[in-house]
């Protein structure tokens, strides 16, 4: 793709604003040390631990450069404008005898491309292509299985797909579309790397469909397109890890898109608009097939979903029963078989839940037999291979059954996808679903919301962070949410907005996705006794941009559809004047760190403001354009103190390491084991402690090294591990009080301190929240009087550990320690899963302050 200079700059701004940095493709993934505190926050044991409630552990350092500027992101994948088959010869990765799938008798990653290439040679029904790359640079494959199509026939299918979304009324009235539109089905496999057999089951189905000579298969493929992302996590497949090569659980990333693997499948689902999708997982003892328990996502068109999801799940159950294995006599269907909260579909972070918002009937499938982790290491190879064979049978059977359901029910699925998008365009209220709509549907399943008429992302002085606003707009657009940009100033609900403000008109086909990303959410604590994973999130409240809600009106102003946010960077100061930059966003921090790396003498006026000398105006202009930040004029006579970028030693989770590196910090991972083995702290300015470091378990040499750092430098802690480190090391006289381990969500806070509190948002995110009591420290941030905005937070015991007890308490504290260093203790989660991006800067300010 050829880009003009201005286009390159524009796209670079968009990439940085979206936070789309990935690890290099230079190393094989290694084993992960023990995970963060929140890894143990399980709610139910499904044979192998609660599958959807673990957070990836911190991964070893792989030499990620903290200084390299991000590259311009290549154009997102979209189907080529040609017929089928669209066959490409896949590059062959090198053979890797250490691939963990080999022991199980499964296809190693390096064996997938040869099999697909051979199938393309043998069959004109199979097309294979690379649609992205993993965190470590491995190819991500998409296979399309369908009857051959001429370019004209394929173009007609594309036009019909667009019409279903953009003109549902016309699509409903088009008899040729209703007769000839091919039912799209999407199968996603191996999103968790050590849940292997979905890939093998999918390959079996692909091979059968490609080579079968019967008339029924030919008729099926003339009516259907089957899309298969064969392994969504090749890094984890090779290494035998749940996480990808960056240490992330990809099946928690779909609302955030921080990882290349989740971005790749996002583009697949947007481009293919499937009727039905399966996400093949393992292992739960008994095969598990969604639909899920309540709470159900309140932004779904749930009636259109459950009318298909339940019978499709029962059809898949019948298919595995016919396999004849003793362990496949039945399946667990959570909607039918589990209690509310045991296996919910509330957050949009999971692949099938995200797919529902894109028009699909999405299912997680959990195959039965455990072959990973302890089982992988301790069971005989023969038993592992027996289990894997059963699991592969189950995966293949569920895929075959889902394809059959989509084919048999093609007319109804088409009508209901059209209806979902029609409701969005029409702005109809959430449907009221009667009891008994499907067997078992009752009041506990009824979740609805009130859609606003529009969201407005202001431009000009009303915008808290232009960089954050651009990032949010770009994020919405790549997820297929419609955003427009006002050509002129306008007024709405008594407020004036300048030209260039962005508008999200909620009368659009994917209004559910727009709303689930932008609304505040809901406190569901009283509705279910527990939740499977996070219960609160909000890009409007936590991503750092100012976003207004219009409940009943949409702006009457000429506007242009947005494909990428407008550039936001600049230098707003006269020549010869020093510059100032407010540290409100991670992009601001990244810009400062790059300036420091290039030798600019940056100064700190206060915790939230840095000063750049007039002589470095050129350097400032470069980072302003690249990162979308704006420099203002510094007040005359502003002196400030020199600011240097701290070298950080971090005992932290993978998501925290990722966020720190994304902001441009140099990070050296440490742990109790690494320090006891002699890992040095020479040259380190600040220590981050949130996972895997116990002061009491350090040997004398390691403890002496840590003590020396604590005397000369700073420490920033998070969570229970950080609070325990503070107490054991005798840093600040703050006593931590813990809420329930699974309590999580969006909270209101009061910013009271000069470091973390300076310029921070009035909202934060918590998972296993803490608060601090005592004296002898500065309270940087307090929980508000009614703290929980959205999420699930019940008391530990009646009258203890709940949001009522947290109200008004210190959420973040800072101070000078008895050793002479500085410390900041977080009871909140400002870097959680690369999600609350608007909170990054407060953690960075804490690091700068503690390290000085």
Residues with catalytic function? 366
Strand order in the sheet with 559-561: 548-550, 454-457, 502-505, 484-486, 559-561
CA distance 729 to 546: 40
R_g (Cα) of the chain, nearest Å = 27
Residue 575 corresponds to which tokens in the numbers above?
């020549």
d(CA 795, CA 400): 45
Q: What is the DSSP letter of 487?
A: S
Q: 360 to each of 132, 161, 193, 194, how far by Cα in Å?
A: 22, 13, 24, 26
In degrees to the nearest 10, what's the CA dihedral of 353, 171, 486, 301?
-30
Partner residues linked to 279 by β-bridges: 188, 364
Length of the chain: 852
| Cβ atoms of residues 273 and 509 within 8 Å | no
Annotate 632-654 with DSSP letters as a single string: EEPPTT---EE--PPEEEEE--H
Rounded CA-CA distance 412/301 in Å is 15
- CA-to-CA distance for 693 and 691, rounded, in angstroms? 6
543's CB contacts (< 8 A; 6+ apart) are 468, 471, 472, 475, 836, 837, 838
449 beta partners:
none
Q: Can you state the angle between helices 5-18 and 617-627, rounded to 10 degrees?
A: 70
- Alpha-carbon span 825 to 785, nearest angstrom: 21
Measuring CA to CA, how many Å separate 602 from each of 520, 595, 640, 714, 754? 37, 7, 9, 20, 20
Quote the CA–CA distance of 788 and 780 in Å, as a whole number.
19
The residues facing 335 across adjacent strands are none
Distance, CA of 159 to CA of 180 (rounded, Å)? 12
In contact, 517 and 348? CB cutoff 8 Å = yes
User: Is there a contact between 719 and 826 (Cβ–Cβ < 8 Å)?
Assistant: yes
How does DSSP assign 190-241, residue by residue? -SSTT--HHHHHHHHHHHHHHH--SHHHHHHHHHEEEEEES-S-HHHHHHT-
Number of Cα atoms under 13 Å in the Cβ half of residue 192? 27
Token readout for 377 is 């290491």
- Residue 201 CA to residue 398 CA, distance in Å, equals 9
Residues 108 and 238 sit within 8 Å (Cβ to Cβ): yes
Q: Which two tokens stand for residue 716?
A: 């920033």
Nearest Cα residue to 317 out of 335, 297, 339, 343 = 335
**Rounded CA separation 267/136 (Å):** 19
Give the span between the Cα atoms of 37 and 743, in whole angstroms: 13
Burial class (CB in 10 A: 0-12, 13-18, 19+), 178: middle
Dihedral (Cα; 619, 624, 627, 632), 10-degree rounding: 120
Taking the alpha carbons of 308, 311, 317, 322 in that order, is the dihedral positive or negative? negative
């Amino acid at each position: 793709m050829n880009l003009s200079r201005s286009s390159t700059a524009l796209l670079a701004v968009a990439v940085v604003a979206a936070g789309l940095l990935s690890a290099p493709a230079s190393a094989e993934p290694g084993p992960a040390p023990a995970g963060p505190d929140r890894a143990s926050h399980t709610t139910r044991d499904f044979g192998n631990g609660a599958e959807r409630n673990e957070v990836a552990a911190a991964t070893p350092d792989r030499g990620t450069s903290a200084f390299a500027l991000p590259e311009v992101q290549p154009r997102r994948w979209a189907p080529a404008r040609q017929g089928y088959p669209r066959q490409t010869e896949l590059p062959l990765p090198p053979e890797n005898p250490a691939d963990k799938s080999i022991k199980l008798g499964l296809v190693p990653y390096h064996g997938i491309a040869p099999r697909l290439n051979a199938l393309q040679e043998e069959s004109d029904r199979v097309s294979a292509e690379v649609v992205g790359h993993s965190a470590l640079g491995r190819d991500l494959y998409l296979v399309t299985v369908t009857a051959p199509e001429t370019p004209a026939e394929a173009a007609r299918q594309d036009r019909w797909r667009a019409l279903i979304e953009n003109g549902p009324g016309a699509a409903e009235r088009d008899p040729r579309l209703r007769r000839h539109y091919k039912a799209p089905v999407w199968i996603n496999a191996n999103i968790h790397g050590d849940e292997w057999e979905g890939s093998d089951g999918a390959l079996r189905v692909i091979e059968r469909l490609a080579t079968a000579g019967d008339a029924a298969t030919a008729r099926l493929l003339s009516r259907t397109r089957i899309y298969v992302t064969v392994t969504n996590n090749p890094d984890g497949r090779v290494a035998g890890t749940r996480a990808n090569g960056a240490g992330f659980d990809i099946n928690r990333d779909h609302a955030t898109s921080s990882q290349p693997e989740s971005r790749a499948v996002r583009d697949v689902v947007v481009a293919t608009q499937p009727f039905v999708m399966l996400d093949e997982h393992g292992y739960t003892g008994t095969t598990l097939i969604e639909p899920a328990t309540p709470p159900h996502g309140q932004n779904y068109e749930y009636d259109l979903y459950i009318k298909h999801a339940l019978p499709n799940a029962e059809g898949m159950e019948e298919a595995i029963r016919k396999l004849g294995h003793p362990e496949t006599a039945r399946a667990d269907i959570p909607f039918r078989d589990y209690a509310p909260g045991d296996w919910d579909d509330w957050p949009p972070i999971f692949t099938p839940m995200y797919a529902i918002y894109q028009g699909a009937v999405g299912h997680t499938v959990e195959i039965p037999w455990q072959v990973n982790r302890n089982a992988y290491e301790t069971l005989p190879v023969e038993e592992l291979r027996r289990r894997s064979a059963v699991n592969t049978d189950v995966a293949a059977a569920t895929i075959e059954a889902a394809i059959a359901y989509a084919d048999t029910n093609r007319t109804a699925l088409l009508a209901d996808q059209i209806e979902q998008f029609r409701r969005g365009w029409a702005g109809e209220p959430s449907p009221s679903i009667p009891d008994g709509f499907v067997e078992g549907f009752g009041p506990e399943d009824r979740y609805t919301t009130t859609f606003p008429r529009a969201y407005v992302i202001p431009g000009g002085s009303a915008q808290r962070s232009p960089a954050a606003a651009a990032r949010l707009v770009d994020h919405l657009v790549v997820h297929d949410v419609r955003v427009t940009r006002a050509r002129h100033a306008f007024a709405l609900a008594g407020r004036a907005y300048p030209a260039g403000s962005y508008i999200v008109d909620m009368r659009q086909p994917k209004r559910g996705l727009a709303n689930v990303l932008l609304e505040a959410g809901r406190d569901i604590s009283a509705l279910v006794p527990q939740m499977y994973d996070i219960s609160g999130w909000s890009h409007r409240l936590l991503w750092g941009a100012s976003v207004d809600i219009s409940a009943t009106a949409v702006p009457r102003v000429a506007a242009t559809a947005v494909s990428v946010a407008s550039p936001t960077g600049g230098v707003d100061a006269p020549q010869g004047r020093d510059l100032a930059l407010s540290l409100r966003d991670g992009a601001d921090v990244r810009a400062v760190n790059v300036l420091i790396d290039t030798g600019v003498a940056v100064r700190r006026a206060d915790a939230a403001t840095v000063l750049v000398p007039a002589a470095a105006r050129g350097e400032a202009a470069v980072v302003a354009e690249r990162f979308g930040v704006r420099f203002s004029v510094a007040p005359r006579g502003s002196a400030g103190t020199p600011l240097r970028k701290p070298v950080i030693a971090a005992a932290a989770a993978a998501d925290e390491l990722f966020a720190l590196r994304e902001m441009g910090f140099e990070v050296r991972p440490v742990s109790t084991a690494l320090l006891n083995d002699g890992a040095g702290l020479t040259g380190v300015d600040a220590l981050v402690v949130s996972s895997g470091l116990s002061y009491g378990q350090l040997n004398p040499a390691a403890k002496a090294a840590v003590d020396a750092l604590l005397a000369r430098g700073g420490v920033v802690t998070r969570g229970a591990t950080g609070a325990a480190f503070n107490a054991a090391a005798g840093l600040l006289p703050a006593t931590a009080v813990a809420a329930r381990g699974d309590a999580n969500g969006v909270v209101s806070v009061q910013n009271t301190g000069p470091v973390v509190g300076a310029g921070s948002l009035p909202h934060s995110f918590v998972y296993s929240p803490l608060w601090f009591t005592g004296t002898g420290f500065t309270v940087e941030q307090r929980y508000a009087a009614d703290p929980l905005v959205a999420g699930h937070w019940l008391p530990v015991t009646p009258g203890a550990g709940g949001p009522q007890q947290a109200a008004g308490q210190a959420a973040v504290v800072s101070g000078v320690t008895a050793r002479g260093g500085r410390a900041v203790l977080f009871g909140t989660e400002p870097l959680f899963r690369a999600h609350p991006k608007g909170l990054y800067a407060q953690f960075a300010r804490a690091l700068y302050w503690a390290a000085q």
